[in-house]
A and B are shown apart, each in its own frame.
Chain A
Amino acid sequence: MSRAELLSPEGLRIDGRRPAELRKITSTTCVLSQADGSAYLEHGNTKVLAAVYGPREARHRALVLHDRAILNVELNVAPFSTGERRRRSKNDKRLLEMASFVKQTFEPVVIATLYPRSQIDIYLQVIQHDGGTLQACINATTMALIDAGIAMTDYVCACTAGWVEREAAIDLNYIEESSDTSEVTIAMLPKSSKITLTQMESRLHVDKLEEVFRLAGEGCKQMYEVMDKTIRDRAEDLARKMAV
């Protein structure tokens, strides 16, 4: 028997969304008191916690750059985050790779020259996994960095899109992701529409690429609205408290 239908002919995905709809997104900042900045973000059932420490003095002298700050990203996936309980080693190559994606994404956006000879640590914790971990990590990092007050040229908003059966769809969940769909993650600077990351590991026909990209870009813009609102609400809240 063939595999489950990911997109019904009526145009609904298995979880009831239409192709161009994001999952429900909730986010808060300033969730950890120890960290300089922190954020918690949910993309449907994908839940990520980000903590930013710094800019602070670099741990290893040898790594220090005299004209700017260095970024350090560590990613950890909780053993209980997936259906099957599994502990991952710290040196899991997938995790290291994903951490380096996040690092590369933010290096051109964070204005590191303002913080010479220092280090900015970003710790990411995936609490629950339901597809689209990388996009959630990037979005959470953006909010945590803003919360930490680190200078950036723009928000970084990430979104995945893929080719589901016969149409492009965004924000794939775990079932859609794992049934051999081609998936692209892009990270975008919403004001300039510049792209700082594209990542794709499967084959996608070149004719479909443009449509998938367009949709992912739109997803990024939608993400921006949500993130910006959270940040502004938070800022207003703080301002009100300071006024009192």
Chain B
Amino acid sequence: MLRQKAFMKKTKSGKVLKVVKEHYLRDDIWCSVETCKVCEHSEPVLSAVPSINKAYRLPHYIIPDTNIFINQIDVMEHPLITNVIVLQTVLEEVKHLSLPIYQRVRDMIANKEKRFYVFSNEHHRGTFIEKLKDESPNDRNDRAIRVATKWYGNHIKDLNPRVSVVMMTDDAGNRDKATADGLQAISVKWYIEALDNAEILDMMSSAKDLDDGQKTIYDEHLSAAHVSNGIKSGKYLQGKLGISSHNYLEGSIYTKINGEEGTILIVGRSNLNRAVDGDIIAVELLPKSEWRTTPTGVVVDEEEEQAEEESLKAEQEAAATAAKEDALDTPQPCGKVVGIIRRNWRQYCGFIDRKSVHTPAGSSAPVNVLFYAMESKIPKIKIRTRQAHSLLGKRIIVAIDSWPRTSRYPIGHFIRALGEAGDKSTETEVLLLEHDVPFHEFSKQVLSFLPVEGENWVVQPEHFAGREDFRSLNVCSIDPPGCTDIDDALHVIPLPNGNYQVGVHIADVTHFVKPGNVMDQEAASRGTTVYLVDKRIDMLPSLLGTNLCSLRSNVERLAFSCIWELNKDAEIVNVRFTKSVIASKASLTYEEAQNRIDDASMQDDVTSGIRILNMLAKKLKQRRLDMGALTLASPEVRFSLERDTQDPVDVEMKELKETNALVEEFMLLANISVARKIYEKFPDSAMLRCHPQPPSANFEKLEKAVARFGIEIDHSTSKTLSDSLDNAVLPEEPYFNKLLRIMTTRCMMQALYFCSGAQIEQEFRHYGLATDIYTHFTSPIRRYSDVMVHRQLHAAIDSSLSYGDELTDKEKMNDLCGNLNHRNRMAQQAARSSVELFTHLFFKNKTEEEEGYVIRILKNAFIVLVPKYGIEGIVYASAKVSKTADSGDAAAQPQPILVYNPETDCLQSTETLAEGETPKTQVQLFQKVMVQISIDDDLKGGGEGGMRQKLKMELLKPWIEGISVHGISNKDDPEAHAVTSKKREEAPVQAQDKKRAGKRTKA
């Protein structure tokens, strides 16, 4: 091995620091071309006969420059592009500019079929270049790329079969220089056009081909320096934009305004100024006279949106005068986007708007069409495609390239098609993609870390080292029917002193998943198992999840046990933790366990154990409730699926049995005990879970609404809240209490994982469970947090155990918590979307009349919850003029039938009222209504362009002229009352922490 030494840089930074670095230039960096005889590479990446393109006579390897990857990454990812030489210079620049793109390039390099080879040109003797005097770093890098291209050209010129290299760049100056050097250079556009493939042509990013003559629609964004100065001086406010799910022209940021936390509304296209949901933006506050008070309405499409904007202006003027008279309602601060600090664009699933396709069918000329994202928060995206007609009615993925000032909509490009809209598997893929759920199969590499014995793995004598033998105990597990990943089991023994020994045994996943290996990394990135209605996306390979770790009955399994001694009143006398081997005697369903308790003739050991556990669980629960734990509710439903097609045939509310609570109580107890233990051992880095107290602003509307019934909600502590919920019973309305609990759930904050060193001890509190410390320990098969907690607990009980800094490093733990929180949120949303999807399938070709309750009031609509199906839908409060009428006409504006009254937070009829008179008709929170539910047949995105507006809810009772429809027999024009089904936004917090609240599906 030859080594050459060359002296490199002397850089100066801040403190005048002289940096002297060595740089060894090498002779042993190979070209990796299959036919090359000179180089000694062992596994050549580049094939002997590489890409062929009409533009060139010879087959060639492509050497792209940095901007090709940054701007055209989707093209590069296309299977047609292979045999690419990625220069180290390029790779480093890409990494510097965009980490996500760097990651995608790395993924391509790892993919053997793509044949991407990284050539470390900066370390190669023949291709390394010194920066010249007066040369900018960019010019130096461009030159490095040219030098490397030249080197490759010379290196492979005598190979047989003959090949060449082509440098790909969109920089014309660089191309000219390359041609002057005798190199072949080409732009992406020419190259792709010569490939003659419609799909890849569509994928090309269209950032630059705009005429400048167009009139500008938006204000210019301020420069980055300007923005950062403005934020420092307090002139601008920084925040992450969250767009309202009802109205994509209304967003808000949560930030500090004059030292106080608050929300700033950003309303309207020009105020949003090209910001997209999730972007980090800089906002300037508007003058107080333009602040607004009322909630906004729902915007469905263009015409309405324009009307909305006009009415907005009028309203603002009115509001300005009204604000002076009515000091009661403080207007919300409003702002305007002045700059974008960081874009958060991702790939979006959606569909092409049929109305925007004007070419005749079969035409393959490129056309500009509009794309609707499934996510209603995303504006329409303009894309250029040659396959508009074949893509109609399909779900496709699109990326945003840019949003110039001259364009009303952002400009993007097509990436790939997923399949027919409405198809169950397509829609499931869409919802997984939309929620960023990794659902690919486990790679071979991951599977290689499974035990070699596979299914035949059994507990061996050597496994008993450091474990207690609990095989003789009467351990049993209680789970939902059809559950295959059993991660907990219980036992109880009455002790001679009258106390009880209770054990919770949790699957010992960490015995199989060792820290840092590929399987562990994969599990950490997945974070959680995702439960959809018809399938499960596992966190761990199923050999572990459903077999080796699963605590099935009558097999020996490794477990991590938590053993208490409880006295008669279920108070903890002592607790210890140990690794163990157990053999479960029975795996029961909730129902079976309940039957055993109830059946007096059953007197076996397992059954009497369950009875004792049940007795103890009731005491535990009572004490927990006395401490102020909340009992919340969520409208969860369960589908009965047809066996073969997996189509839903029936829906029922989930039912909770006493035995659900039994298991839950002991799991909570275990989690709390473990949390204490690991916090003691790792005060700075324990993985814990907290649930912050909700701010009182969350309760304002609810309090107002229930005051009507003479009910008060005191949310100062969880105890008072819990008591007021218990007392809020209306004898004439049995469902009222449940409804109130559902709505309270939505006022709650999200429970979060956190690293104990990152917060003060007072903030560890779990509000919902009313405990001062909490963690997740009991489901390591389906949650990665529990895996970490297992490792920490093991380190806490076994002082001789060696562990790396993954358990002690505060930063790493914090990052991990961030990822787990994100994955968790996404998993919940995906699960809910899946339920929504099945609800839609269920209502296909059906029309049902059902009772519902008003749970939210918007400016021009209200949201109804139908308890029987657990679904929500919007009912409009304005009569919509049929779209078939001349839409340009001013008369086409919707006429409000009911108007919003901010004082009472209800919608009321428009007639003028005398003092003290109640309006003729009004819609208010908690009101019981009859609605008709049906499905919008228009799945193919025709007429209304509404492929995502599927569930339709129409008011039957009370009868309001212009809004209500006559039952099924007397169905109106279906388009007169289009209704969007919207995603329920708030997660029921409790459900995730209460172990079983419907997490599992039929396997």
- Is B22 a contact of A173 with CB atoms below 8 Å? yes
Q: Cα distance A1–B528 when bound, in Å?
A: 26
Partner of B24, one of A17, A83, A84, A130: A17
Instruction: Say which one of B13-21, B293-301, B463-471, B594-602 lies at the interface with A.
Output: B13-21
Instruction: Say which one of A4-12, A90-98, A137-145, A232-240 lies at the interface with B.
Output: A4-12
Q: Cα distance A130–B19 when bound, in Å?
A: 10
Q: Cα distance A175–B22 when bound, in Å?
A: 11
Does A21 reach chain B (CB closer than 8 Å)? Answer: yes
Partner of A1, one of B5, B21, B99: B99
CB distance from A206 to the nearest CB of B (A): 4
Determine the chain A residues whose CB is within 8 A of the CB of B991 once the complex forms. none
Q: Cα distance A173–B21 when bound, in Å?
A: 9
Determine the chain A residues whose CB is within 8 A of the CB of B803 once the complex forms. 205
Find residues 100-143 in chain B having any chain A CB closer than 8 Å to their own CB.
106, 109, 118, 120, 122-123
Does A241 reach chain B (CB closer than 8 Å)? Answer: no
Determine the chain B residues whose CB is within 8 A of the CB of A206 once the complex forms. 802
Q: Cα distance A23–B25 when bound, in Å?
A: 12
Q: Cα distance A8–B803 when bound, in Å?
A: 26
Does A45 reach chain B (CB closer than 8 Å)? Answer: yes
Q: Cα distance A24–B5 when bound, in Å?
A: 8
Does A203 reach chain B (CB closer than 8 Å)? Answer: yes
CB distance from B234 to the nearest CB of A (A): 27
Partner of A203, one of B1, B24, B804: B804
Q: Annotate A14-37 by CB proximity to B: 1 below 8 A, 0 otherwise.
A: 111100010110000000000000
Q: Cα distance A83–B14 when bound, in Å?
A: 12
CB distance from B205 to the nearest CB of A (A): 24
- Is A130 a contact of B20 with CB atoms below 8 Å? yes
Determine the chain B residues whose CB is within 8 A of the CB of A116 once the complex forms. none
Determine the chain B residues whose CB is within 8 A of the CB of A1 once the complex forms. 99
CB distance from B886 to the nearest CB of A (A): 55
Q: Annotate B698-720 by CB proximity to A: 1 below 8 A, 0 otherwise.
A: 00000000000000000000000
Does B844 reach chain A (CB closer than 8 Å)? Answer: no
Does B23 reach chain A (CB closer than 8 Å)? Answer: yes
Query: Which residue of chain A has its CB nearest to the CB of B1?
Result: A21
- Is B118 a contact of A10 with CB atoms below 8 Å? yes
Q: Cα distance A130–B20 when bound, in Å?
A: 9
Residues of A in contact with B, size category: 20 to 34
Determine the chain B residues whose CB is within 8 A of the CB of A175 once the complex forms. 21
- Residues A15 and B21 in contact in the complex (CB < 8 Å), given A84-B15, A206-B802: yes
- Is A10 a contact of B18 with CB atoms below 8 Å? no
- Is A15 a contact of B22 with CB atoms below 8 Å? yes
Find residues 185-244 in chain A having any chain B CB closer than 8 Å to their own CB.
203, 205-206
Q: Cα distance A5–B94 when bound, in Å?
A: 14
Does B413 reach chain A (CB closer than 8 Å)? Answer: no
Determine the chain B residues whose CB is within 8 A of the CB of A203 once the complex forms. 804-805
- Is A45 a contact of B99 with CB atoms below 8 Å? no
Number of A-B residue pairs having CB atoms within 8 Å of each other in the complex:
56
Determine the chain B residues whose CB is within 8 A of the CB of A130 once the complex forms. 20, 22
Determine the chain B residues whose CB is within 8 A of the CB of A173 once the complex forms. 22
How many B residues, CB 8 Å from partner? 27
- Is B120 a contact of A12 with CB atoms below 8 Å? yes
- Is B22 a contact of A23 with CB atoms below 8 Å? yes
- Is A12 a contact of B18 with CB atoms below 8 Å? no
Q: Cα distance A128–B20 when bound, in Å?
A: 10
CB distance from B102 to the nearest CB of A (A): 10
CB distance from A55 to the nearest CB of B (A): 38
Q: Annotate B2-39 by CB proximity to A: 1 below 8 A, 0 otherwise.
A: 01010000000001011111111110000000000000
Determine the chain A residues whose CB is within 8 A of the CB of B3 once the complex forms. 21, 24
Q: Cα distance A189–B11 when bound, in Å?
A: 40
CB distance from A176 to the nearest CB of B (A): 11
- Is A8 a contact of B120 with CB atoms below 8 Å? yes
- Is A44 a contact of B99 with CB atoms below 8 Å? no
Determine the chain B residues whose CB is within 8 A of the CB of A9 once the complex forms. 106, 109, 118
Q: Cα distance A24–B17 when bound, in Å?
A: 24
- Residues A83 and B17 in contact in the complex (CB < 8 Å), given A1-B99, A8-B120: yes
Query: Which residue of chain B has its CB nearest to the CB of A206?
Result: B802
Q: Cα distance A203–B88 when bound, in Å?
A: 32
- Is A16 a contact of B23 with CB atoms below 8 Å? yes
CB distance from A4 to the nearest CB of B (A): 10
Q: Annotate B59-100 by CB proximity to A: 1 below 8 A, 0 otherwise.
A: 000000000000000000000000000001000000100010
Q: Cα distance A10–B18 when bound, in Å?
A: 29
Q: Annotate B580-594 by CB proximity to A: 1 below 8 A, 0 otherwise.
A: 000000000000000
Determine the chain A residues whose CB is within 8 A of the CB of B88 once the complex forms. 8, 10
Determine the chain A residues whose CB is within 8 A of the CB of B25 once the complex forms. 16
Determine the chain B residues whose CB is within 8 A of the CB of A44 once the complex forms. 22
Query: Which residue of chain A has its CB nearest to the CB of B516?
Result: A205
Q: Cα distance A24–B21 when bound, in Å?
A: 13
Query: Which residue of chain B has its CB nearest to the CB of A80?
Result: B18
CB distance from B29 to the nearest CB of A (A): 8
CB distance from B764 to the nearest CB of A (A): 27
CB distance from A182 to the nearest CB of B (A): 9
Q: Cα distance A23–B95 when bound, in Å?
A: 27
Determine the chain B residues whose CB is within 8 A of the CB of A12 once the complex forms. 26, 120, 123
- Is A10 a contact of B120 with CB atoms below 8 Å? yes
Q: Cα distance A13–B571 when bound, in Å?
A: 58
- Residues A84 and B17 in contact in the complex (CB < 8 Å), given A9-B118, A12-B120, A205-B804: yes
Q: Cα distance A15–B120 when bound, in Å?
A: 12
Q: Cα distance A3–B792 when bound, in Å?
A: 27
Determine the chain B residues whose CB is within 8 A of the CB of A5 once the complex forms. 95
Determine the chain B residues whose CB is within 8 A of the CB of A205 once the complex forms. 802-804
CB distance from A82 to the nearest CB of B (A): 9
Q: Cα distance A175–B23 when bound, in Å?
A: 13
Determine the chain A residues whose CB is within 8 A of the CB of B802 once the complex forms. 205-206
Q: Cα distance A23–B4 when bound, in Å?
A: 11
Partner of B22, one of A2, A45, A84: A45
Query: Which residue of chain B has its CB nearest to the CB of A166?
Result: B516
Determine the chain A residues whose CB is within 8 A of the CB of B1 once the complex forms. 21
Determine the chain A residues whose CB is within 8 A of the CB of B805 once the complex forms. 203
Centre residue among A17, A84, A128 by max chain B CB count within 10 A = A17
- Is A16 a contact of B17 with CB atoms below 8 Å? no
Determine the chain B residues whose CB is within 8 A of the CB of A17 once the complex forms. 24
Q: Cα distance A24–B106 when bound, in Å?
A: 32
Q: Annotate B803-818 by CB proximity to A: 1 below 8 A, 0 otherwise.
A: 1110000000000000
Q: Annotate B919-957 by CB proximity to A: 1 below 8 A, 0 otherwise.
A: 000000000000000000000000000000000000000
Partner of A16, one of B106, B123, B804: B123
CB distance from A207 to the nearest CB of B (A): 8
Find residues 75-104 in chain A having any chain B CB closer than 8 Å to their own CB.
83-84
Q: Cα distance A201–B106 when bound, in Å?
A: 34
Q: Cα distance A24–B6 when bound, in Å?
A: 11
Determine the chain B residues whose CB is within 8 A of the CB of A16 once the complex forms. 23-26, 122-123
Q: Cα distance A17–B123 when bound, in Å?
A: 9
Determine the chain A residues whose CB is within 8 A of the CB of B20 once the complex forms. 45, 83, 128, 130
Q: Cα distance A128–B109 when bound, in Å?
A: 40
Determine the chain A residues whose CB is within 8 A of the CB of B804 once the complex forms. 203, 205
Q: Cα distance A203–B804 when bound, in Å?
A: 8
Closest 10 CB pairs of A and B: A16-B24, A16-B123, A206-B802, A83-B17, A205-B804, A15-B22, A44-B22, A83-B18, A10-B118, A10-B120
16 further A-B contacts with Cβ under 8 Å, apart from A14-B21, A24-B5, A203-B805, are: A8-B120, A9-B106, A9-B109, A9-B118, A10-B120, A12-B26, A17-B24, A24-B3, A24-B24, A45-B21, A45-B22, A84-B17, A128-B20, A173-B22, A203-B804, A205-B804
Which A residues contact B (CB, under 8 angstroms)?
Answer: 1-2, 5, 8-10, 12, 14-17, 21, 23-24, 44-45, 83-84, 128, 130, 173, 175, 203, 205-206
> Can you list 25 A-B contacts with CB-CB less than 8 angstroms, sorted by A residue number?
A1-B99, A5-B95, A8-B88, A9-B118, A10-B118, A12-B26, A14-B21, A15-B23, A16-B122, A16-B123, A17-B24, A21-B1, A24-B3, A24-B24, A44-B22, A45-B20, A83-B17, A83-B18, A83-B20, A130-B20, A130-B22, A173-B22, A203-B804, A205-B802, A206-B802
